[in-house]
Amino acid sequence: MPAISLKGMAEKAGLSLSTVERYWNEAKEGYLKRTGKTENELTPRDWQYIMGVVKKRIWHKTGKKYYESKPVTASNSFKEKLRNLLLE
């Protein structure tokens, strides 16, 4: 279980860590049952799917997404440093 990721999701969603861990375990067990795989046979893609299920459960429970899209912009100080490097 990715404890750091689950802890971050719990904090952002306002849920207890035990609730999010339960979502993780239920998603994993359900996936293993549906696919007939063992935990050792899971690929990174499988783990990604399980994490997606957990995120969707959190969203349905709280109405909050785990992540928010933010535009990527360079800070003014970075732009100034870059400009100075290019002008040297």
Highest average pLDDT, of 1-10, 24-33, 60-69, comes from: 24-33
* Residues whose CB is less than 8 angstroms from the CB of residue 2 and which lie 6 or more positions away in sequence, other chains included: 24, 51
Distance CA 51, CA 56 (A): 9
Taking a C-beta distance cutoff of 8 angstroms, is the pair 71, 18 a contact?
A: no
Per-residue pLDDT of 34-77, as tens digits, reads 999 999 999 999 999 999 999 999 988 888 665 554 555 555 67
| Domain enclosing residue 26, as ranges | 3-86
Distance CA 11, CA 15 (A): 6
Distance CA 26, CA 29 (A): 5
Number of separate domains in the chain? 1
